[in-house]
Structure 1
Amino acid sequence: MSPKSLSMPTRRELLAATAAAGAISMLGGTGSAEASGETIAPFSVNFPEEALDDLRRRVAATRWPDKETVTDDSQGVRCETIQKLANHWARDYDWRKTEARLNALPQFVTEIDGLDIHFIHVRSKQENALPIIVTHGWPGSIIEQLKIIEPLTDPTAHGGGEADAFHVVIPSLPGYGFSGKPTAPGWNPPRIARAWVTLMQRLGYTRFVAQGGDWGNAVTELMALQEPPGLLAIHTNMAATVPADIAKALAAGGPAPAGLSPDEKHAWDQLDDFYKNGLGYAIEMNNRPQTLYGIVDSPVGLAAWMLDHDIRSYQMIARVFDGKPEGLTKDDILDNVSLYWLTNTAISSARLYWDNAHFPSGGFFDPRGIKIPVAVSAFPDEIYAAPKSWAEKAYPKLIHYNRLDKGGHFAAWEQPMAMTAELRTAFRSLRQ
């Protein structure tokens, strides 16, 4: 059987069955599904056991390459690391725990702009909670944000006060996880941004904030650029702040410009290393995502492709499989990779890079001219830690900036309480 034939009923089948049964549900808005004329259907996850057996069989049957010829990470994901991951995946990992965790949350699916969008929606018990839409990136998923849901929606149980509460919406990007897979080009960040606004409006939220990193930052910043009614402010943990002269010098591969502050020079060094050594995955997905058949056929191939995103994330994950967890566990990492595998979204998610390249919305780290309030959290092991001086120029209405001591690209996943604290502080002045 193919992975698709082993997965759950299609989103279209789920919507049709739910609507026919009259079980339309819209938990968490001031309106109703019938009033809006748009269907919001409950969603749950239940992969057949054959799909999990097939996954374990494929992992166990991996054809391994020769070991790398160097003693460092310069040739990519090291054989020892990925074999440790594979051994845990085949022998000890239990997807059903993650499935149960997901199904314990309110999940829904709704059609926007012709595509089924899956999302988690957890309302706080505090009625005056601030609605927030949080967007993941690649190689992330909704798994990234699961650890921040309870601290945001139930702050009094997690070191905060009632006034810190959020209603939380976490959608799966188009082509990712349980959202629909686009069948035509054009689902680029501006289009996703418009869809997210529609989602928040459909849920009845007239005032809300948005947060994102990686592709989630691009989508969130473009929401801000579109300035829809109701969007009060945004928060980013991977800000787009690189000045034009810095971007030009990086593209040319030249030395750092003179006169940079220590923080700016550090950001330059991080970006320079990433552009020279870390962009291989993005170049391939920008140009030829459909060629990546190997990561659809091999779970271990998929895992290695996803691990090799940026060097500091990879090194942190390698330490986890060496028995030194710091923020993430072995199961955390395999939860995310398994989600990609079981939903057969390796290539459909990669196409977001192609869509962005062919329907461009600006450079990934280029300032976009956002006029609404912006909050920035700079984690030290991100692709680059945005200096405050760059953030102040990029965001004229910078309402919060903090440079943290720990955390990397998957900030909410690695350091959930730090991210929670950042969001509470960032948006506190906007609450009424």
Structure 2
Amino acid sequence: MLSQEQSEKTVFSNDVVGGLRQRAWVEINLGALAHNVRQLKGLLAAKTALMAVVKADAYGHGAVTVARTALSAGANWLGVATIPEGIELRQAGIDAPILILGATHTPEQLKAIAHWQLQPTLCDPKQALVFSETLAATTGGNLPVHVKLDTGMSRLGPLWEQATEFVQLVHSLPHLQIASIYSHLATAENPDRRIMQQQQQRFETAIAQVQAASMSLPLLHLANSAATLTSPDLHYDLVRVGLAMYGLYPAAHLSSSVQLKPVLQVKARITQVKTIPPNTGVSYGHHFVSDRELRLAVVGIGYADGVPRNLSNRMEALICGRRIPQIGAITMDQLMLDVTAIPDVAVGEVVTLLGQEGKEQITADDWAAVLKTISWEILCGFKHRLPRVAVNREQGAGSRE
């Protein structure tokens, strides 16, 4: 078993020789994370548990540290997408129940699941048969499994009309113990609730049919972040919260339901400052040409770190609480800013690319709007060569470090 220090050293570290914050880094505000979990728990009935979704390295925030913080703040379950993600948490000493939300199929995968005491999603009869037979031939023990139904996502699980047949099969197989029945909503963030309501009705119809077949009901869950923020009617026994836990709203109209604080900030340092004359091209392709003399700052972060190249000439950064335009093509390891408005800016100055300084804030939603994508993709894009630095503070005024 890895120690806490060993399990986190590739993601979270304290400053070492030379300083991890010399170039660029991601700050993870554990105080904000705990606040968000408590706020979300406050929306739930006492009987309803909260699953912290920490797949994709906790949306780029660092799975082990996020999982520990979320559990300490009141989360009951953890959700991952893959077996290795679950193993990482177990190796870190985390013993909370872990649901694998993705599909697993082979005997080898099942053996790993059983060994690490993870809980798989069942989505088709063949998978259930393989799992039962493998357990019979190996451990002989019972394994908690979670039955997934397709109520309109058209992804994993049998169609909802086949729920009773599938649940009866799983129930009849030795060594499989149904821990929950669940489904996933396709349009929960949409103000138009018609499709979500249709999915919920399908889910409840399927559950009623299962119950009518004289089978006792396990845990039921349907809600993602958006549904958790929408209505208690969608909460059932468990909610699965990802984006909201990280302090972002799945849609603007849901922002009044609870006060969330962004957990992640992306920062980098200025590595050179220079003055360039009018009619000077900046960066590859000279897609930006200065129309006047300006002060240019080179910043040590680029698209290899997760700053999308398509934001070139379309984004801003914060220095001492002021918005500063980015200019020229974003390169693999560096980008340029027009810092003419801050004449005393110097090498080593901290630049906030995502986060808050004073009254100004730039969020993953801002980048997503420019790129016509979603904030989930932005958060998951920051690479591991950016050290994750854990902090525990309220967002406040920026400082010149």
User: Aligning the two structures, in what range does the TM-score lie when normalised by the shorter sequence?
Assistant: under 0.3
TM-score by length of 2: 0.24
Higher strand share: 2
Larger Rg over CA atoms = 2
Higher helix share: 1
TM-score by length of 1: 0.23
